[in-house]
Structures are given as C-alpha cells and as structure tokens.
Structure 1
Amino acid sequence: MAGLRRDRDELRAETLTDRAPAVERQHALGKRTARERLDLLLDPGSFMEIGMFRRRSEGPDEPAGPRTDGVVTGSGTVDGRTVFVYSQDFTLSGGSLGAAHAAKIHKVMDLALANGAPLIGLNDSGGARIQEGVLALDGYGGIFRRQVRASGVIPQISVVLGPCAGGAAYSPALADVTFMVRGTAQMYLTGPDVVEAVSGRRVTHAELGGAEVHGARSGVATFVHDDEEGCLDDVRYLLSLLPSNYLEPPPAAAARSAAADVRPRLAELVPVEPNRPYDMRTVIAEIADDGEFMEFHEDWAGNVICALARIDGEVVGLVGNQPMVLAGVLDAAASQKAARFVRFCDAFGVPLVTLVDVPGFLPGVDQEHAGVIRHGAKLLHAYCEATVPRIQVILRKAYGGAYIVMDSRSIGADLSLAWPTNEIAVMGAEAAVNVVHRRELAAAADPGALRGVLMTRYAERLTHPYFAAEHGLVDDVIDPADTRAALARGLAALRGKREIAEPRKHANIPL
C-alpha cells in the first residue's frame, strides 16, 4: 500500500505540474493558466477536481494523450454556494476539444443540472481537435444539447479568456451570460484566413471577433473587461445576484428601510421638458440600494438599459429607456437586448421594474428592412410571457406602440406608476395635430397660431398626467421623490405572486 500511495502521489504531482515553457507563453499573452483562473474564481480551498486522470487512448499501439486532456473540471463554492465549473487548458494541446475532453465537460454539466447549481465555463481553446475528426464534433453536440436542457433551469455563465473558434463559439452564445476579456479573447465561426480566402478581405483576430466587436457591435458578449482578475471578480458578483436554480429565490440581502426612503434628487435629475436628455443611469442609481447596479450589454444598443440591482435588499431586473442615446427610442437591437434580459429575469424569478421614457420606435427604411417589427415583437412576447412581479414607472413620455411594449398594464404589468410629468398618447401633441388637423392648418391664415391652440387643446384632453389614471391604466401618480419607496412597497406586496402558465409544449416567440 505504501508503494501504491507513493505511485499515486507521484502521478498526481506530475499531472498538477505545469509545463513551464507553455505557461510562460500563456503569461506572455496576458493570460493565466486554467488552475490559476479557478483559484481566482472559487473560494480558497473549495475546488474538488473531477476527472484529473482522464486521457485520450486510441489503442495499444498509439501513445496515450496527456492526463486531464486539456480541461480542468470539478466543483467548488463562490461565497459558500456550490457551482460546477470547467476551465480549458490552452497550455495542453491548445485546449483543443476531443472525445475525452468533451466527456469531462459533459460530466460536470450533468452534475450541475442534477444538483441545481450554476455552471461556469472558462473558455480558452483552439477549437475541435482535428485529429479526432467527428468524435470532436460529437463532443460539441453533447455540450450544446446539455446547455439547452439546462436553459432556464440553472444559470449558465460562459467566460471567454482566449480563442473560442468554430463550433465552440456556440457554447457562449447559448449561455445566459457571456464575459470576454479585451486583448486576449476572440470568438468567431470562421477565422481570418477563411474570411480572406472567401472574401478577399484581410482582418485580424481582434477585428473579426474580439471583445470590443462582440461587446459593442454583435451583442454576443454581455460583459467586457480589461483583465482576467476583474472579469472573474465580476462573475462572482453576478452569482451573488442570481439563485442557484429556477426553484430558488434570488439571494436576498439585509433590508434597507427603502419603503420610507425619499429621494428628492430624482425630481432634479429628470427635466420636465420632454425633449431634454438626461442619463437614465443616474435614475437607476437613486433607486437601487447603495447606488449599485450591474448593467448588461453596456456598450451595445445603448438606447435601452438593462441591469440587475437590489431594492430594499431584494434583487430586481431594471429595464429603462436611455434618453442620452437616440432619445431613448426603441429599435431592432434595443428590442432584442431588452427581450433577452426580460426572459432571463423571468426564468430565474427576478422581479422586473421598467422605467419608461420612450418617444416611440425608431423610424426609417433601414429599421423596417432590418425587421424592427419582428424584433419589437420579441420584447412584446417576453413581457407578455413573464410571470414574475412586474412594475412599470412612466417618467415622462410614452408614445405609441413603444408604450405598449414597455410593459404597459395592457400586456400584464402588475402595477403601473407614473410621475406628474408623464405623457401617454399615440404620439406627441405636435405630430398628432399635424395629422388630425392637416386640412385646417393648410387653410388657416396663421397656421402657427392655430397649431399652438390645437396642441394645447390636444394635450389638455388626452395627454394630461391623470388621463391614464382616470381610465385605470395607471395605478397611481407619484412624486418622483417617492419612487424608490413606492417600488419597495410594490415589490413587497407582489412577492407572493403566483401565476400558472398555459398548458402547452412551448410558446413560439418570433425569433
């Protein structure tokens, strides 16, 4: 037994020993090793490795592959809560995925789903192992199938810390949240060489699929960071806002007496004039506990803001129009962004607060041809389908179909609150008058004076702050200073909400 133990310890030490030249190359690229990343992500001493000795073995006449097969898998804790994780090892065969590599990932995915615990994938791989042919492709298929099975059941977080090419890119795309690191992370289906061969255009890895591209243009990356330490620290923070699975409530913090918290600064932050811009982030900071919130897709579709925060210790999802970007209109990209966030929150029991200041959908040929109708329908579908507590707050304008889509009472908001500055109408007074009274204006001796009279009459009759409340479409007109308190009381009242979904296989969201 003493000899067996010694052999076992030597083999384990050999497996755990990093290959110095490969590690040096990894560090020179600004990247950490697979195990160093796990040390940053998990609570100290909590990692339990699974499949350390797994390796590729084709037959008696072929040399066996290295142990771990280029991926470190297992479980650990983050702030004391169990998570399952895999971390690809680029220092070993470029982190390429073969049958044994995939089998290890399949194992932790199955365990994560069976135990109702979050799954975190640290991606740093050259892609499918060409030498294994279809076996590698089959391995990817097994990962994707498991991701879809786990979708909406457990949080799935993908962290891209190096290359993630070819079919491998679909794993981050299927995850709930994707993190990328500037300068080192790249994600694309076909690399620069293939792009040049097909199109004749030369591009770098970063230009084709770097973190900036996916953070600001494609919307594939949810969060983009400057370094691995900050990235993995934010993964830990995100986990503190999410439940372990869909059957558990989001983790609550200590109550903050928010129900009596008056914030007079809110009335100062938002101009009364409907066309003057302001930063919706400042409003969210006043509403959230300690002014803290975690914004999703910060650099993509900036005309809508999606963020997780706490109000009175409870986690909420915030969706708000951003008047600083395109006047806060909804367009195709913003609709996609908000729809995915709404469905994400609904899947994991996170209540939704929608802050409305929207002049409508962005008009134009490009938007119509880009399918803004279909993308807007995604957001409409997401809200209509959501069963979590939902509160709408109308700060200023809410015009046309965009008012409906931004969680109006008509599509199922539980509570609708409005500031005294609210204007809810099919369109603004000037546009409405130009349409309805076109002939009178054309025949008038002084069209400007008549337009002013007609606009005042239209506003007094249809867009005054209490019109929607008088017709039951707004539950209360509140002082802006009371917004945080009203939300805290409303969320507390709705905490016991239960809604049974329609019996069907699944809805057919307009993807």
Structure 2
Amino acid sequence: MESVTDQPDLSTTAGKIADLRTRFQEAVVDAETAARTKQHAKGKLTARERIEMLVDPGSFVELDEYVRHRTSAFGMDKSRPYGDSVVTGTGTIHGRTVAVYAQDFSTFGGSLGEVAGDKIIKVMELALRSGIPIIGMLDSGGARIQEGVVALGKYGEIFRLNTAASGVIPQISIIMGPAAGGAVYSPALTDFVIMVDKTSQMFVTGPDVIKTVTGEDVGMEELGGAHTHNTRSGVAHYLADDEDDALDYARTLIGFLPDNNLAELPLYETPFEFETTDADRALNTVIPDSPNQPYDIHTVIDGIVDGADFLEVQPLFAPNIVIGFGRIEGRTVGIIANQPSQMAGTLNIDAGEKASRFVRFCDAFSVPIVTLVDVPGYLPGTDQEWTGVIRRGAKLLYAYAEATVPLVTVILRKAYGGAYIVMGSKQLGADINLAWPTAEIAVMGGQGAVNILYRGEIKRAEEAGEDVAA
C-alpha cells in the first residue's frame, strides 16, 4: 500500500506529469497486458493489437483513454477501468487519415455502456467533420445490462450517425467476435462488413431464444456465423480466414476508396502500355465458340484492370454476378459482371440486390462503373416470383438509372430481354456502350424466338413427322 508521501504532488508541474504517467501505465500498459492474457488464450487479438495491425506503424493516436463509467448500480463502482470497453482514435492507412474504434472484449465483455457509447459517437462525429473513413471493429456482448436503457439508447445515437455518414464517408465494419441484438444494425448500416471465419457471429435473436419460441434447434455458427452471412444472408461482404486476413482486406479496400464523397479518388502510378500485348490478345480466346458453354468472367476482369488486381466484394453470395474494385490507368473503377459459370449468368433476386447496392455506393463516391454483360435473362421459377423478383429486381434498374458517375457497358456475349435493359444498358443512361465481337443483343435467344415466330410451322412439321430439332 502506497503511503501519502508516495503520491505525486499535484500542486507542481512535475507532480502532474508523474500522475499522468501513472494513469497511462494503468490505462494502457497494464490494461493491455491483462487483455493479452485473456484474448490470446482464445486465439484472438486485443483491441489495441487489432488497431496497430490495421493502421500504418506508429500512426495511431488514441482518444479518451482515461474516461471511466459513472455507474454504481449492481456493484459496478468496484470496477472502473480507464477507457471503458472500447478503444478509439485516429491513424493512417497508406498515409491517409482514418478514424477507428475497436471494442475491447476483455473489459466487461466489450458491452456498450454510456461512456463506451459516447466514445464511439465522438469518433464518428470526428470522422464526419473531418471527412475521413471510419472503421469499426466489433467484439461485444451487446448493451450493458447494469446501465439499463441509458446504455441501450446509445445504439440509437450510433445508428443515427451511421445514417448521416452513409454516402458521405466510407464506413467499414469488421466483426471480430459476437454481435447480437441491436448491435447488429450498426454494421448493417455501414458500407462493408467483414467477418472472421469461426470467431464472429451476428444475429438479432440467439439460439436459446429461437428454440424457446419456435422450437428450432440451431447453433450459433449455423445461425449467424461468418460463413452463413457470406453465403446465405448476404449481410457480410468478405469471409476472412483469420483476423490478419480481415484487417488486410480492410486496408486494401481503403486503398480503392476516396476519403469522402467530395474527395478525388486515389490515383496510383501504374505502368501501362497503350500498345496491344499478348495479354490483351489472350482475351480473344476467352469467349467459347458455343453460346451455351460457360467461362469464368474473372479472366476478362483480370485482363482489363491494372496488374490483374481486382478486389472482389461478396464473392460467396449470389456468385452469378461479380462485383468489386479495380484500377484502370491507376484510377479506381467499380466492376459489375455477369458470371456465366454460375447459373449461366442469369439474374435473380440476390444478384440484383447485391449489384444495386454496389452501384449506389459507387455513385455516392464518384467511382466510375464498368459493366460486363453476358446475361441470358432472369432466373425463372415460382420461388423467384413469389419472393418478389419484380419489386426487388427493380432496385438494380433504379440504381443504374439514377447513377451520375461515368457508366461504361461492354456486352461480351448474351444480352437478352429485360435483363439486357437492367444491366447498365444504353437506354438506362450508360455513357459508352461497347460490343465484343461475340455480342448478341436481342429480345431473347435464337431458339426461343424461332419457337414463337414459327410456332405454326413447327407444329405442322411435327404432325407430319418431320425432324423439327434440325
């Protein structure tokens, strides 16, 4: 136990500096040591380690590391750690300033209390005022029950700021652990959601509640794990193998995006040649001779972006359409392409919603869009009709029609029917429309058109026993 004489003399400058060093030791150094003991045992990084890996070395400036919660109910006054359950601040990625926050699961299970909520709100407001991207790392048990509605209400303020920032500054959420109940809606309001395989979960109601109410028996991973939200729900945009992979994807993503909706896109010096190369000529063999033979659209994308450097978004959800970012002559472009190797490249509800959200993001942040079209039409079926393909499919049409960014559309092979119109067509306002030598633009495929236009002749030929298939 320290004696009175061991306490720094706060009436002197030296004493005040010594007191600050003591608090820093407790708030950062000692807290980080304890956090590593807890987190590393679970195979997870601490909040500060995650931030240090995300931002450029030595660039992180922490905010509000000395604040403490003010709750005395339920014995909370006996534990008042500095910084509460979240680490906030600013740093740089590729030399550009970003705002960050990382929930600290080692403190109160990362739960959101009044002070933790205020810290997140403060750094979000700073990001909005400064016009810089914000990246949130979520690892939380939800609202802090001991603080009641005061804590719960902070989610509402965070959601309001997410909404205010939408289309103004890029918002990225990295789910590093659990996110349940109201906590899931902040990531849903952001532009990109990254989840870590087998360690992150998102759900509104947990397995126990579901079993009690509906009788369904489902585990946390199956209900709201990273794989589920990347392949089935479409909530997530990237499935990371581990935390390092998640943070690396976020850094790469920031490299393609502007700081805000009024800023210029980042420009990179990329060596490129105006002369035709062997790599360019290889594109001549990509499209198969048979109109029904599939091929991988990534081959085309890699052939037109700088250095075959393409960052795909939502690769596991609605794989019949491909979206992502690339660079052409050093400038960021958004790529949207039908994928003939998946469901023949047809459009369905999931593909339409996936692409429409991406178009609107690109439009908000002045990212030109290149659309690669090879679409035979919409996926037929009662399931699509009954689950709203008309209502939900119209979203992509609306997104293209309202877009004000440069739109370049390249028709590679099939462009049939209503799907042709929806895929960034000339009639929807595309600025430049190019046709690959193999392009076919029509109301429908040749076989279908013949069956309709010559229905009578075909029927008579069948009745006469002639070979109509020929």
Shorter-chain TM-score category? over 0.9
Asked if 2 retains the 8 angstrom alpha-carbon contact of 1:29 and 1:184, the reply is no
Work out the CA distance in 2 between the residues paired with 1:402 and 1:220. Answer: 24
Q: Note the alpha carbon deviations across 1:166-199, whole angstroms, 9 max, x for none.
A: 1000111111001110111111111111111112
1:334 equivalent in structure 2: 351
Per the TM alignment, residue 20 of structure 1 is displaced from its structure 2 partner at its CA by 5.1
1:140 equivalent in structure 2: 155
Per the TM alignment, residue 30 of structure 1 is displaced from its structure 2 partner at its CA by 1.8
2:442 equivalent in structure 1: 425
Of the three residues 104, 116, 119, the one matched with 2:134 is 119
Per the TM alignment, residue 18 of structure 1 is displaced from its structure 2 partner at its CA by 2.8
Matched, 1:236 2:251: yes
Cα 1:332–1:201 shift into 2, 3 Å: same
Asked if 1 retains the 8 angstrom alpha-carbon contact of 2:461 and 2:467, the reply is no
Work out the CA distance in 2 between the residues paired with 1:323 and 1:153. Answer: 35
1:27 equivalent in structure 2: 40
Map 1:359-508 → 2, pairs under 5 A: 359-444=376-461
Work out the CA distance in 1 between the residues paired with 2:465 and 2:332. Answer: 52
Asked if 2 retains the 8 angstrom alpha-carbon contact of 1:58 and 1:64, the reply is no
Cα 1:189–1:71 shift into 2, 3 Å: same
Q: How many residues align?
A: 452
Q: Note the alpha carbon deviations across 1:99-150, whole angstroms, 9 max, x for none.
A: 1110000000000000000000010001010111111121000000001000
Q: TM-score, normalized by length of structure 1?
A: 0.86
Letter in 1 for 2:354: K
SS at match of 2:347: coil
Task: Name which of structure 1's ranges 176-185 and 443-452 shifts more when overlaid on structure 2.
Answer: 443-452
Work out the CA distance in 2 between the residues paired with 1:414 and 1:361. Answer: 24
Work out the CA distance in 1 between the residues paired with 2:72 and 2:348. Answer: 57
Matched, 1:42 2:59: no
Work out the CA distance in 1 between the residues paired with 2:458 and 2:112. Answer: 70
Asked if 2 retains the 8 angstrom alpha-carbon contact of 1:70 and 1:93, the reply is yes
Work out the CA distance in 2 between the residues paired with 1:256 and 1:394. Answer: 27
Asked if 2 retains the 8 angstrom alpha-carbon contact of 1:331 and 1:367, the reply is yes
Per the TM alignment, residue 27 of structure 1 is displaced from its structure 2 partner at its CA by 1.4
Map 1:193-204 → 2, pairs under 5 A: 193-204=208-219
Map 1:44-443 → 2, pairs under 5 A: 44-58=57-71, 62-63=77-78, 65-262=80-277, 263-443=280-460
Letter in 1 for 2:296: D
Q: Note the alpha carbon deviations across 1:361-405, whole angstroms, 9 max, x for none.
A: 000101101111112100000000111100000011100000000
Asked if 1 retains the 8 angstrom alpha-carbon contact of 2:270 and 2:306, the reply is no
2:26 equivalent in structure 1: 14
Asked if 2 retains the 8 angstrom alpha-carbon contact of 1:258 and 1:311, the reply is no
Cα 1:383–1:258 shift into 2, 3 Å: farther
Asked if 2 retains the 8 angstrom alpha-carbon contact of 1:51 and 1:104, the reply is yes
Q: What 5-or-longer segments of structure 2 have no aligned partner?
A: 1-12
Per the TM alignment, residue 272 of structure 1 is displaced from its structure 2 partner at its CA by 2.7
Per the TM alignment, residue 58 of structure 1 is displaced from its structure 2 partner at its CA by 3.3
Work out the CA distance in 1 between the residues paired with 2:291 and 2:178. Answer: 46
Work out the CA distance in 1 between the residues paired with 2:146 and 2:226. Answer: 29
Work out the CA distance in 1 between the residues paired with 2:168 and 2:25. Answer: 37
Asked if 1 retains the 8 angstrom alpha-carbon contact of 2:411 and 2:439, the reply is yes
Work out the CA distance in 1 between the residues paired with 2:119 and 2:169. Answer: 19
Work out the CA distance in 1 between the residues paired with 2:62 and 2:254. Answer: 21
Work out the CA distance in 1 between the residues paired with 2:188 and 2:271. Answer: 37
SS at match of 2:269: coil
Q: Note the alpha carbon deviations across 1:396-441, whole angstroms, 9 max, x for none.
A: 1100000000001000000000012111111111111112221221
Letter in 2 for 1:417: L
Work out the CA distance in 1 between the residues paired with 2:215 and 2:32. Answer: 39
Asked if 1 retains the 8 angstrom alpha-carbon contact of 2:287 and 2:438, the reply is no
**Cα root mean square deviation, aligned:** 1.7
Task: Name which of structure 1's ranges 210-219 and 251-260 shifts more when overlaid on structure 2.
Answer: 251-260
Cα 1:119–1:288 shift into 2, 3 Å: same
SS at match of 1:248: coil
Q: Note the alpha carbon deviations across 1:215-263, whole angstroms, 9 max, x for none.
A: 1110111011111112101111111100000111210111433543441
Cα 1:333–1:15 shift into 2, 3 Å: same
Work out the CA distance in 1 between the residues paired with 2:312 and 2:446. Answer: 34
Over the matched positions of the two proteins, sequence identity in percent amounts to 53
SS at match of 1:68: coil
Q: What 5-or-longer segments of structure 1 have no aligned partner?
A: 453-511
Work out the CA distance in 1 between the residues paired with 2:114 and 2:273. Answer: 53
SS at match of 1:18: helix
Cα 1:63–1:18 shift into 2, 3 Å: closer
Work out the CA distance in 2 between the residues paired with 1:345 and 1:167. Answer: 28
Work out the CA distance in 2 between the residues paired with 1:132 and 1:78. Answer: 35
Of the three residues 1, 13, 16, the one matched with 1:4 is 16
Per the TM alignment, residue 98 of structure 1 is displaced from its structure 2 partner at its CA by 0.9
Asked if 1 retains the 8 angstrom alpha-carbon contact of 2:410 and 2:434, the reply is yes
Q: Note the alpha carbon deviations across 1:12-63, whole angstroms, 9 max, x for none.
A: 1101123656533321222100000011001111111111111111369944
Task: Name which of structure 1's ranges 202-211 and 219-228 shifts more when overlaid on structure 2.
Answer: 202-211
Letter in 1 for 2:367: V
Work out the CA distance in 1 between the residues paired with 2:47 and 2:358. Answer: 30
Cα 1:7–1:295 shift into 2, 3 Å: same
Asked if 2 retains the 8 angstrom alpha-carbon contact of 1:30 and 1:184, the reply is no
